[in-house]
Amino acid sequence: MEFGPVGAPGAAPRATDAVRRRRRRVAFALVVLAAIAVTAWRMRPWGVPASGPAQPPAITQRPARLVPDSVRIKVEVVNATSTRRLATLATAWLRDQGFDVVGVGTASERERRDSTLVLDRSGHPEWAAMAAKAMGGAHVEARRDSLRYLDVTVLVGRDWRPPPQSLYP
């Protein structure tokens, strides 16, 4: 005949002192973590108290439009670097300034460039100069190509940096 623990029928056995100490440590750790979470929530963003009204985000100004509304300058943008998506950023920048970017591409390994180059394709040096100004003063060369439907080709080099503000606010 076997005897079980003394107590009410169906009652769980009493926890030992070691189990009770472990439970207290876990409860204490949960309280500390909750206090840290509440403090962090009140200090959003990190280090700045949440008191007072929230400041509105800085408004990003679009660049001044260089191309007049009556003119359509068709541009091809070519990434002539190993930096990914640089032509995409340059496309957004040029479109914000009024250029009609109709083609985007990547130059081959042997056509990589350190500096940005703007090519005049249609015999309109003033349009190429506007594109060079938009790209931060890039060098301009005349390379007419009567078979192309483009006015300007921009070869984006390693020296071009995207603007610090967001292109699409």
- Residue 57: half-sphere exposure toward Cβ, Cα within 13 Å: 6
* Cβ–Cβ < 8 Å for 93, 163: yes
Task: Decide if pLDDT at 46 tops 50.
Answer: no
Task: Decide if pLDDT at 118 tops 90.
Answer: yes
Short-list 143, 156, 148, 152, CA closest to 66: 152
Task: Decide if pLDDT at 4 tops 70.
Answer: no
Exposure string over 45-80, b if 16+ CB within 10 A, otherwise e: eeeeeeeeeeeeeeeeeeeeebbeeeeebbbbbbbb
pLDDT single digits (tens) 47-96: 444 555 555 555 445 556 778 788 899 999 999 998 888 999 999 999 98
Q: What is the mean pLDDT of residues 111-137?
A: 90
Q: Is the pTM of this model over 0.75?
A: no
Kind and range of the H or E run holding 39: helix 17-42
